[in-house]
Structure formats: C-alpha cells, structure tokens
C-alpha cells in the first residue's frame, strides 16, 4: 500500500509540475509557432465531424468568423477551459462558427464521445488527422485559433482570457468579403504501408547530424523508428496510465536493445508540447543513446499515420517496411526484441 501511495504522489507531482509549466509557457509556444500565420489566409480543408457531417472551411471564409479550439481528452487545461468554450458556442450568433478540434493524438473516437457525453458538449467536434493542426502550426493544447470574416488568421493563443474574447469580437465585427484568394488547400499525405519502402529522405537529429531513413547496409539489416513523446510517461500517468506504462515499457526495450549492431535506430518525437530542449532532457534523463529527431511540424507522424505513442515501425536494409508495433502490442516487454529476432 505504501508503494502504491508513493507512486500516486509521484504521478500527482509530475502532473502538477507539467500543468504549472503549461501555464508558464503554453501561451508563448502557441504564439511563437503561429507568428508567421497571423494575417495570412487560413487553409482550405473540409472537416468531418464525429457525427458524420462535413464542414467546408472555404464555404465559411468571407461570410463568418471562425473559432477553432484544439484540445484533447487527456489535457487538463483543455478541460478547465471548456466552460468558456461552451459559453462562446452558446452565445455565438450567425456571424460566428465554433468548432472543437480534438488533436487526434493519443485519443480515440470512443474517448471523445465519452468526453462529450460527460461534459455535455454540444458544438461540432472534429477528430483531426493531423492535417489541420499541421497547417496551423499546432504546438500546444489547448490552442485557440480565430479566423476573421475576411478569411485570415486573426489570433492564436493558449489561454481563455480577455485577449481571446477581444479577438472574437474583432473577428465578428469585420465586414464580410468575397473573392478572397491565397487559401492553400491542405493535401492528404500519402501513407507508408507494410510492404512499401521508406521515403528516400534524411532528417536532422537534435545533435545536428543527418539520418537517412532509407539506406542499404547488409551489416545492419534493420531500421527502427521509435515514435515517442517526452512527456508521455509523466503527464499521462494519471489521465492515461496504460499509455504512460506502454511508453515506459517501450523506452526500456529500446534502451536495452540500443547496442544491437544490426539495428539503425531513430527516435522520432512529436512536436506537441515539446521542443529540442525537452527532447535532449528526456534523452539525458533516461540514458537514451539512440539518435533523436523532433518532428516539429508532425510531417513524419502523418507520413506513417502515427496517432499514438509509443509506435515503432521496423524496416529492412532496403527500406521495406516490415512491421508496426503499437497499442496493446507495446505492453509486451519482449515485443521489440522478438520483432528484430533478438536473443
């Protein structure tokens, strides 16, 4: 019982520390990531709600202001801000479209539907496949994006505060516009499936080196990409303990096997709530010796259709994708060793 209590206390301390950090840095991260978008035409994309309806953003530009809130069911500040979001939806007139965008990271349709039912959420909800978040440079949850009636990005922030309310008022007060140009369509990234080859590209690791995803080396028959998040083990320990344990388990497997000379390793970290400094600290704290890269834009995650961590993809020395390890399979402490034929 004492051991269980200590684990619980440690989880609460980790969660509290992350929440405090979120309050300190979330607004800064959201604004830094979005600075280049402010004043620019918003992206063109048709969204599918969890109820099967379609929302074509292009049809709203020039007619209505748009309020997009990016959130997740495991996100503590998202839940704390939900009453404000619901109030905006309830009081929105015909000049404002309010849409809830679940970021689709370590979430599921069942979790979102259960969350909606428990909190009584009524606005349209979209489970993002990563494309909208990528187009709007999503870095933290929650992130509030306000698009003016002129179809341009007016405001991006992390907090539900007076500046957000003022931005909503400004957006709604703008005159409508017609013939707006410059909206870039958000294209779907072709996915890499089992049996297909890794893309012939290289990525930059956090130590400044290049890592080629595809390379022919008979002495190293496996390339293993480990998709991770530096905060999975700590922050999700309370809200998603199974996922946190899977992340811890997979990290332990990678640490144990990282010296295998047959394997080229690359840790690919999500850019959601993480930067290069966070990734370096995670690697140092956990004695990770494999190369690490920060997928800041989420492009690699989307290319491999990775929506959950941990996920591991394994390819041969010709770059052919052999296997994926994710979900329940990540809970087996021998999954990775068995996949690469370890002893």
> According to the model, what pLDDT value does residue 10 have?
44
Domains along the chain?
A: 2-173 (3.40.30.10), 202-339 (3.40.30.10)
Residue with the bigger pLDDT between 19 and 144: it is 144
Q: What integer best gives the mean pLDDT of the chain? A: 90
> According to the model, what pLDDT value does residue 183 have?
79
- Each residue's pLDDT tens digit, 55-99: 999 999 999 999 999 999 999 999 999 999 999 999 999 999 999
User: Do residues 230 and 17 touch, judged by C-beta distance below 8 A?
Assistant: no
Which tokens in the block code for residue 332?
């087996």
Give pTM, 2 decimals.
0.89
- Give the CA diameter of the chain: 68
d(CA 101, CA 69): 6
Residue 128, classed as helix, strand or coil, is coil
17 upstream amide cis, omega within 30 of 0:
no
d(CA 136, CA 33): 9
pLDDT exceeds cutoff 60 at 16? no
Backbone φ and ψ for 185, nearest 5 degrees, come out as -70, 140
User: Do residues 227 and 244 touch, judged by C-beta distance below 8 A?
Assistant: no
Tokens 């591991």 -> residue = 312
- Each residue's pLDDT tens digit, 134-191: 999 999 999 999 999 999 999 999 999 999 999 999 999 887 666 666 778 888 878 9
The DSSP bridge pattern shows strands 125-127 and 96-102 to be parallel
Residue with the bigger pLDDT between 48 and 342: it is 48
Other beta carbons within 10 Å of 183:
17
Other beta carbons within 10 Å of 319:
18
The DSSP bridge pattern shows strands 96-102 and 65-71 to be parallel
Q: Report the run of H or E that residue 212 belongs to, with start and end.
A: strand 210-212
């Amino acid at each position: 019982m004492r051991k269980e209590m200590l684990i619980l206390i440690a989880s609460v301390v980790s969660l509290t520390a992350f929440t405090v950090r979120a309050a300190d840095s979330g607004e800064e991260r959201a604004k830094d990531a979005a600075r280049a978008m402010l004043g620019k035409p918003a992206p063109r994309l048709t969204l599918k709600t969890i109820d099967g309806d379609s929302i074509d953003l292009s049809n709203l530009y020039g007619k209505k202001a748009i309020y997009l809130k990016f959130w997740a069911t495991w996100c503590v500040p998202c839940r704390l801000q939900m009453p404000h979001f619901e109030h905006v939806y309830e009081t929105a007139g015909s000049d404002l479209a309010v849409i809830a965008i679940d970021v689709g990271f370590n979430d599921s349709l069942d979790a979102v539907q259960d969350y909606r039912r428990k909190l009584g959420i009524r606005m349209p909800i979209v489970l993002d496949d990563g494309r909208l978040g990528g187009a709007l440079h999503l870095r933290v949850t929650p992130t509030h994006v306000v698009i003016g009636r002129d179809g341009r990005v007016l405001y991006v922030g992390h907090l539900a505060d007076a500046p957000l309310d003022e931005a909503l008022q400004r957006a709604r007060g703008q005159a409508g516009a017609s013939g707006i140009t410059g909206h870039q369509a958000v294209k779907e990234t072709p996915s890499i499936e089992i049996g297909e080859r890794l893309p012939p590209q290289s990525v930059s690791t956090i130590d400044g080196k290049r890592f080629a995803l595809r390379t022919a080396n008979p002495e190293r028959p496996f390339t293993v990409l480990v998709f991770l998040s530096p905060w999975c083990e700590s922050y999700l320990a309370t809200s998603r303990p199974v996922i946190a344990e899977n992340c811890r388990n997979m990290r332990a497997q990678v640490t144990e096997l990282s010296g295998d000379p047959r394997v080229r390793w690359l840790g690919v970290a999500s850019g959601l709530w993480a930067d290069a400094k966070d990734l370096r600290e995670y690697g140092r704290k956990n004695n990770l010796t494999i190369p690490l890269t920060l997928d800041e834009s989420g492009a690699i995650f989307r290319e491999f259709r990775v929506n959950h961590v941990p996920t591991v993809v394994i390819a041969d020395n010709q770059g052919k994708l052999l296997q994926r390890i994710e979900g329940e399979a990540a809970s087996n402490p021998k999954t990775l060793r068995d996949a690469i034929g370890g002893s």
